[in-house]
Amino acid sequence: MKIRHLVISALLGLGGLYTISCSSSGNWKEAHDQKTNNDIILHAWCWSFNTIRENLPDIAEAGYTIVQTPPAQLCITETADDPGGGYQIFGHGRWYYHYQPIDWKIGNYQVGTEDELTELCAEARKYGIRIIVDVLPNHTAIDDTQVRPELDAAVGGHANLYHANGRTEITDYNDRLQCTTGQMGGLPDVNTENPAFQSYFLQYINNLIKCGVRGFRYDTAKHIGLPSDPKDSKSERNNFWDVVMGRESVLGNSLCMDRDSLFIYGEVLQDRNVKETEYAEYMGLTASGMGWDLRHDLEAGNWLSQDVSLYCHPADPYKLVTWVESHDTYCNDHESAHLTDQQIRLGWVYLTCRAYGVPLFYSRPAGSDGPSGNYWGNNVVGARGNDNFKHPLVVEANMFRHWMRGLSETVFFSDNGSIAEVCRGKTGVALINIAQKAEKVKIPTTLPDDDYTDIMSDRTFTVEDGILTGSMEPLSACILVRH
């Protein structure tokens, strides 16, 4: 479901070209003309702490300000069909093992130790980069016999670790009681409302902060109840978010750093009956609907296939995390894996050059080729992903975002839908052609009348009477900046 925030209006006399205006949501435009996002996230998916540290010079040079690591807590090493300890992304070892906690203590065999995380955070600070960690309080390993005795003891026994409904598989994700207390994909649902668990988990969060971590992605956040949600029979209050965001203490423990000093967002995938505006009171949210629309436009080779002029979300766009693809869309059923690296780059240019949302670049495995069905590439957990995160076009989009900080956005689409133009104030423009053929450009712009040269290709464009003209190669992007 898409919630419209911006007015879409046809420009009369220009053959069906479209623009967006920020005037339809009360004071939204006034509140955000000078409050654009500047951060850019690299999702170092399956990279180890040491691998991230070794690549910090390239990451910083490419313009990223935040690096998201894999989950850092203790996790399973084996399953019924895997004897354990393997370092393959998918095979002997699996990427999703680190999404199956057995205790909330720092360090696991796939990504590294507490000391290595501390060293990473210290080194990242030298480059002005914040490290954020993927955290997952909602469930334990499918095989809960692997849960550590220390965790069971801390929460008052193994039975108290889970919701009353925690081993009943969710059948209706739009039923909030099922969604927030039921088992998902075989993963038993933790009683996140148990004060003893809240205190134990908060100690983990505080220990990460003491290592130098400066933010978190909350995995499966929409499966953890809000104050307005129905309560599990074991729970007196749905106050998990109030505790971990520092609004409340629990059993003498509280968040050890001011919430506003941390970058926190939650995986709240959009669907019917998801309380996005209430979740947004606590944290940033994933703009999964916008990502879905963007991928379908890239597939169609036409920007008008789905409506990506909007952020497709009821929360303030300033609070959203945007992506072309996520690790889930790539790995689970490989829904986005058929997109080429160039298509990913073009979608990235569109997202990153816009004023709002914090774009997240998912690092695909090194040696992979999703369109051919080679999803795992070199198939080594801990290794660096492919070079797409530092491709020149990706870097130029990142730099454009930094250059245009504080400037409002206007988005135009060509009448045939092949070209999108992201304008930032009267200073810069990104043009993205997602068609499989060369295109003549004739599109309104906010740039003043003058001649402009693409930073990447030296291709020239002209603006006359508010219309930008030129030409573009198939599946290409151009970035124009007023000097």
Q: Which residues are catalytic?
A: 219, 267
Longest Cα pair distance anywhere in the chain, in angstroms?
73
Task: Judge whether 92 and 109 are in contact, CB under 8 Å.
Answer: no
**Cα-based distances in Å from 282 to 207, 218, 285, 340, 343:** 21, 11, 9, 35, 33
Q: Are strands 476-481 and 460-464 parallel, antiparallel or unpaired?
A: unpaired
Residue by residue, DSSP assigns 228-289 as TSPPPTT-S---HHHHHTTSS-BTTB--SS-GGGSEEEE-----TT--HHHHTTTSEEE-HH
Task: Judge whether 166 and 190 are in contact, CB under 8 Å.
Answer: yes
**Which amino acid appears at position 169 of this protein?**
E
Task: Judge whether 397 and 324 are in contact, CB under 8 Å.
Answer: no
**In Å, how far from its chain's centre is CA 130?**
15
Task: Judge whether 70 and 108 are in contact, CB under 8 Å.
Answer: no
Q: DSSP class of residue 169?
A: B
With H, G, I as helix, E, B as strand and everything else as coil, classify residue 335.
coil
With H, G, I as helix, E, B as strand and everything else as coil, classify residue 63.
coil
Q: At what angle do helices 341-353 and 392-403 cross, to 10 degrees?
A: 0
For tokens 């006399």, what's the residue?
Answer: 13
The two three-digit tokens of residue 105, written as one number: 């203590």
Long-range own/partner contacts, residues 177-181 (CB < 8 A, 24 or more apart):
177/229, 177/230, 177/232, 179/222, 179/223, 180/222, 180/223, 180/224, 180/225, 180/229, 180/230, 180/232, 180/238, 181/225, 181/232
The two three-digit tokens of residue 141, written as one number: 């390993």
The two three-digit tokens of residue 113, written as one number: 């130790």
469 forms beta bridges with 442, 462
With H, G, I as helix, E, B as strand and everything else as coil, classify residue 72.
coil
Task: Judge whether 456 and 430 are in contact, CB under 8 Å.
Answer: no
Q: Are strands 428-433 and 419-424 parallel, antiparallel or unpaired?
A: antiparallel
Q: Would you say how long the chain is, in residues?
A: 483
